[in-house]
Amino acid sequence: MEEKKIFDEVYDLCMRAKVNSAMLSRARTEVKNRALCTFARLLRENASVILEANAKDLANAAENGVRDTMLDRLRLTDARIEGMAKGAEDIAALPDPVGKGECWTRPNGLMIRRIRVPMGVVGVIFEARPNVAADVAALCIKSGNAVVLRGGKEAIESNRAVVSLARRALAETGLPAEAIQLIENTTRASSEALMQMRGLIDVLVPRGGKGLIRAVVENARVPVIETGAGNCHLYIHADADPEMALKIAVNAKISRPSVCNACETILVNAQIAPAFLPMLKAAMDEHHCEIRGCERTREILPDVTPATEEDWDTEYNDLIVAVKIVDTLDTARIHINRYGTGHSEAIVTNDLAAAEFFQTSVDAAAVYVNASTRFTDGGEFGFGAELGISTQKLHARGPMGLDALTTEKFLVNGSGQVR
């Protein structure tokens, strides 16, 4: 009974988003940009209101014994609110993806235009970070999409404050406030209901940890874009410059271990291993990073923890790295294509044929030669704002910019043609 009521509530919010999406989808770029700048201004003007709401969330979370890393994600500060405002302004400055396209005329005189149009209604399920609400609202305004947000229960007060400002920004610009909806019920039933909204939700994006993403991918009955899982590898080829290899290994593992483009396993060619592994060990020790090695690695580095099958499959998101010695480039390829999540993979080599083989045959969104996996990022690729990093092959792959929130449409104009 309760679930039926929650389903109906979610249905109602999605329907309101859909009805109001039509007007937003036709809005001119200058009007959408004005709404984004208004949103930025309102965020700044109402920073204290947001911080007050956030304080309630933090107090509730502390009471419920939420762990510190989660509290950190939940916490807003003046700097983080300024970041949200700046983000909205940055998105206003990006080119509008809507309306771009190509056109041609068929021999029978039909003029065909193939143009990008908004998806319609975007659904986003996220966890404790309230800045996601602001980022996603801004991306959806710019791409002309209505959006239904379903955030975690920890952040409900903060999300409510942020979303109400986004809606005010639309209203003040003459756009429909109802195009942005927040599901205030944060039980599991509400996110399950959102996953069932066929015909109302055009695409659903889960933003958060592995558990959330898996639950959405497995249960959704609406189209999903899978993001974020990154079991990334670095392969040190026999023909690698050891200094470059070390610099890249340290950066890929250490610079920010908690993110999806960080490296989790280093594969080392057997020929270079005796020289390279002691250097790697010294550098990882210096950064307090644990190495888990295969048997052959442990012949060279006897002190490191033995790696198990599970290690090859694990995205540590921590100061731990698995190390495996392989005899050939092809063994490295097979390992990566078996255990990788299709995110970012890198080779260090000065051998042209090896580099080309690696880039052609490793199946991932981004494949690097002589650079760190950490560059897989919308900003680093030059796309501006980023919705996430797609690890699927359908629709969008790799860093997703505003384009990923659009689809295409064929407009065909004739003068009475029949077939």
Q: Which is nearer to a second copy, 82 or 403 (CB)?
A: 403
Burial (CB count <10 Å: 0-12, 13-18, 19+), residue 331: middle
- Considering only 2, 288, 302, 419, the residue that binds a second copy (CB under 8 A) is 419
Contact set for a second copy, span 220-239 (CB under 8 A): 221, 223, 225
Binding residues with a second copy: total (CB under 8 A):
61
Q: For 288, left (φ over 0), alpha (ψ -120 to 50), or beta?
A: left
CB 257, CB 284: distance < 8 Å = no
Say how far apart CA 103 and CA 6 lie, in whole Å. Answer: 45
371 CB contacts (<8 Å, ≥6 apart)? 248, 346
Say how far apart CA 352 and CA 6 lie, in whole Å. Answer: 58
Q: Which is nearer to a second copy, 130 or 398 (CB)?
A: 398
Q: Which is nearer to a second copy, 255 or 331 (CB)?
A: 255
Build a one-symbol-per-residue string for 59-88: x at contacts with a second copy by CB under 8 A, - elsewhere. Answer: ------------------------------
CB of 38 to a second copy, least distance (A): 24
Say how far apart CA 291 and CA 268 lie, in whole Å. Answer: 13
CB 263, CB 253: distance < 8 Å = yes
Which tokens in the block code for residue 151? 């955030």
| Bridge partners for 263 per DSSP | 232
- Considering only 4, 56, 210, 409, the residue that binds a second copy (CB under 8 A) is 409
- Our finding on whether 332 is near a second copy (CB under 8 A) is no
Q: Fill in the DSSP letter of residue 393.
A: S
Q: Fill in the DSSP letter of residue 172.
A: H
- Our finding on whether 32 is near a second copy (CB under 8 A) is no
- Considering only 65, 302, 303, 410, the residue that binds a second copy (CB under 8 A) is 410
CB of 370 to a second copy, least distance (A): 5
Build a one-symbol-per-residue string for 357-376: x at contacts with a second copy by CB under 8 A, - elsewhere. Answer: --xxx-xxxxxxxxxx-xxx
CB of 118 to a second copy, least distance (A): 9
Helices (H), 99-209: 131-142, 156-172, 188-195
- Our finding on whether 309 is near a second copy (CB under 8 A) is no
Q: Which is nearer to a second copy, 85 or 354 (CB)?
A: 354
- Considering only 3, 8, 22, 327, the residue that binds a second copy (CB under 8 A) is 22
Say how far apart CA 59 and CA 258 lie, in whole Å. Answer: 25
CB of 26 to a second copy, least distance (A): 6
- Our finding on whether 400 is near a second copy (CB under 8 A) is no
Stretch that binds a second copy, among 48-56, 157-165, 289-297, 386-394 (CB under 8 A): 386-394
Q: Which is nearer to a second copy, 64 or 108 (CB)?
A: 108
Say how far apart CA 38 and CA 281 lie, in whole Å. Answer: 52
Contact set for a second copy, span 97-136 (CB under 8 A): 104, 106, 110, 112, 119-120
Which tokens in the block code for residue 354? 């090896």
Q: Which is nearer to a second copy, 98 or 294 (CB)?
A: 98
Say how far apart CA 252 and CA 262 lie, in whole Å. Answer: 5
- Our finding on whether 416 is near a second copy (CB under 8 A) is yes
Q: How far is CA 214 from the centre of its chain?
A: 14
* Max CA distance (Å), the chain: 80
Residue 293 has φ and ψ, to the nearest 5°, of -110, 155
| Bridge partners for 147 per DSSP | 122, 180
Q: Which is nearer to a second copy, 110 or 189 (CB)?
A: 110
CB 155, CB 182: distance < 8 Å = no
CB of 241 to a second copy, least distance (A): 8
- Our finding on whether 160 is near a second copy (CB under 8 A) is no
Which tokens in the block code for residue 262? 């960080």
- Our finding on whether 302 is near a second copy (CB under 8 A) is no
Contact set for a second copy, span 184-223 (CB under 8 A): 202-203, 218, 221, 223
- Our finding on whether 255 is near a second copy (CB under 8 A) is yes
Summarize as ranges the residues that interact with a second copy (CB under 8 A): 22, 26, 104, 106, 110, 112, 119-120, 202-203, 218, 221, 223, 225, 241, 244, 247-248, 250-252, 255, 355, 359-361, 363-372, 374-376, 380-382, 392-395, 397-398, 407-419
